[in-house]
Structure 1
C-alpha cells in the first residue's frame, strides 16, 4: 500500500522570510499536497528552489505548478513596472521568487504542457529538472 502524505500544516513555510530551498523529495505528497504547498509559497519571494522529486505527482500537478509560476511571474513583472515608473532600472536577476523546480521521477505526462505555457513568458525560472528514472 502506498503512503500518501498531504502537507496540512505549512505555517513554518508561511512564517519564514529566510527559507530559500524547500525539499520534499521522496515524500509522496501527491497532487493534493502540491496544491497546499503551492498556495503556501506563492507569496514567498525568498524561496528560490522547490524540490519535488519523486513525490507521486501526476498530470494533475500541471495546473497548480503553472499557477505558482504564473503568479510569481506576474508579481515580479508588477514590481519591475513600478520601479520603472520611478525612473529606476530594475535588476531582474535580483528579484525574488522561484528560480529552479526539481520535478524528476514523477509521472507528469501532460502536466509538462501546462508548465511549458507559463514558462514561455517567464523570465526568472532558470532550471527545471524533469528526468524520469
Structure 2
C-alpha cells in the first residue's frame, strides 16, 4: 500500500498525448510527463486510498487517455487526462500543468478517481471530450 511510509521517487509517466490534446484544442509541444515527489505527497495526503488505486495506472492514463479536457477553473494553468480502466471499473484523472518546465517536462500535479456521473457531467459541459 503506497500510503504507508515508502521512499518516493519522481515518476516519469510517459509522453504527453499531444495528438489527443489537439482534438480538444490544446496545441502543446511534445514532452514527458513527470509526477514529482511533492505532487505524490500531495495526492497521498489529500486522498491516500485513492492514490493507491490510481498509482498502477498513471502511465496508462497519461499515454493513452480515453478523455482529455480542461476545467474552466484551470484554463490557463492545467488540463486533465482521464482513462476508464475497464478491468477495475475505475475512472482515473491525472491533472497536469499546461506550461512545461524549462527542460520541456510537464508536471502532473494530482491524480484521483472520478465517478461515471462526474465524467459524464464534464463531457456534457464540454470540459472533457472522448479521444
Q: Which has the larger radius of gyration?
A: 1
Same fold by TM (over 0.5)? Answer: no
TM-score normalised by L of structure 1: 0.24
Give the TM-score normalised by structure 2.
0.24
